[in-house]
Amino acid sequence: MIARHLITEEILPLKTSNTGEEAISLMEELKVSHLPIVNGETLLGLISEQDIYDLNNLKQPLGNHKLSLKHPFVSEHQHLYDVLKLVSSLKLTLIPVLDDNEKYLGCISIQNLIRYMANSFALENPGGIIVLEMSENDYDLTEIAQIVQSNDAKVLSLFLGSHPESTRLEVAIKLNKTDIGAVLQTFDRYGYYVKASFGEEDDLESLKENYDSLINYLNI
């Protein structure tokens, strides 16, 4: 999936003539903390909620505000992973998308990204979750998949999480079945350390917490 296909259609850019008051109102409505400022088809930058409050005058036009984020953007052909990396590193609630001629096409909201990931990576599908911990050298995707398939289950999605200043990995596996007891036993026989598992006995609140943890593995 590339950036152009992830654009959030309902978010329109601001102009320099818009006031801080108008921008804050729109941010609250869209549940974002940033909005792009555009002149024609040219991206001038992103303005944040904090930028507006720092000026201490919501009646002032945005052209009078200093932008703390000058020109963060992704190109229309960049992959989903590149978009996630930039949004995460800059702690943005949205990111502008430009075409090959650096013309503004729209922006991608963090809500839209998470929604797409949930649909694409089967996070909302019924099924158990197994979290393994291992060294980087022991990671073998083929063997992990074979262990799951040997118990008549399938891997719907898989996430890797690394520890800072460590060679340890956390591997979160989403399966297509909630009865994961046999899979857990097989991982144990193969010497895998199961850090956590969530199956059919978990209630809805626990599952929500598990999904939140998966998002954290992606460093969002």
The number of CA neighbours under 13 Å toward the Cβ of 192 is 28
pLDDT given for residue 215 in this prediction: 54
Q: What percent of the chain clears pLDDT 70, i.e. is strictly above it?
A: 86
Which tokens go with 96?
A: 């502008």
Return the CATH number of the domain spanning residue range 3-118. Answer: 3.10.580.10
Give burial (CB, 10 Å; 0-12/13-18/19+) of 130.
Answer: buried
Summarize pLDDT for 176-210 with one digit per residue, the tens. 998 999 999 999 999 999 999 987 555 445 555 65
Query: Is the pLDDT confidence value at 211 over 70?
Result: no
Average pLDDT over residues 87-96: 92
> What is the average pLDDT across 54-65?
83
Flag whether pLDDT at 153 surpasses 90: yes
**Average pLDDT rounded to a whole number, residues 55-84:** 83
Q: Which CATH architecture has domain 121-217?
A: 2-Layer Sandwich (3.30)
Q: In Å, how far are 50, 125, 158, 184, 211 from 217, measured between CA atoms?
A: 28, 19, 11, 21, 10
Q: Which amino acid is at 77?
A: H
Burial class (CB in 10 A: 0-12, 13-18, 19+), 131: buried
The whole-number pLDDT of residue 175 equals 93
Q: What is the CA radius of gyration of the chain?
A: 22
Assign 62 a pLDDT band (cuts: 50, 70, 90).
confident
Task: Give dist(CA 15, CA 164) in Å, integer.
Answer: 41
175 φ, ψ to 5°? Answer: -105, 165
pLDDT recorded at residue 147: 97
Digit-coded pLDDT (tens) for 96-144: 999 999 999 999 999 888 888 777 665 667 889 999 999 999 999 999 9
CATH topology match: 3-118 vs 121-217: no
The predicted model gives 64-88 an average pLDDT of 84
What letter represents residue 129's amino acid?
A: I
Pairwise CA distance, residues 110 & 220, whole Å: 9
In this predicted structure, what is the pLDDT of residue 159?
Answer: 85
- The average pLDDT across 47-72 equals 81
- Does the pTM exceed 0.75? no
- Helices in 31-109 by DSSP H: which ranges? 49-55, 80-90
Q: What is the DSSP string of 3-39?
A: GGGG--TT-PPB-TTSBHHHHHHHHHHHT-SEEEEEE
Q: How do the domains of the chain map onto residue ranges?
A: 3-118, 121-217
Give the pLDDT confidence of 3-41 residue by residue, as tens digits.
Answer: 999 999 999 999 999 999 999 999 999 999 999 999 999
What is the SS3 assignment for 179? coil
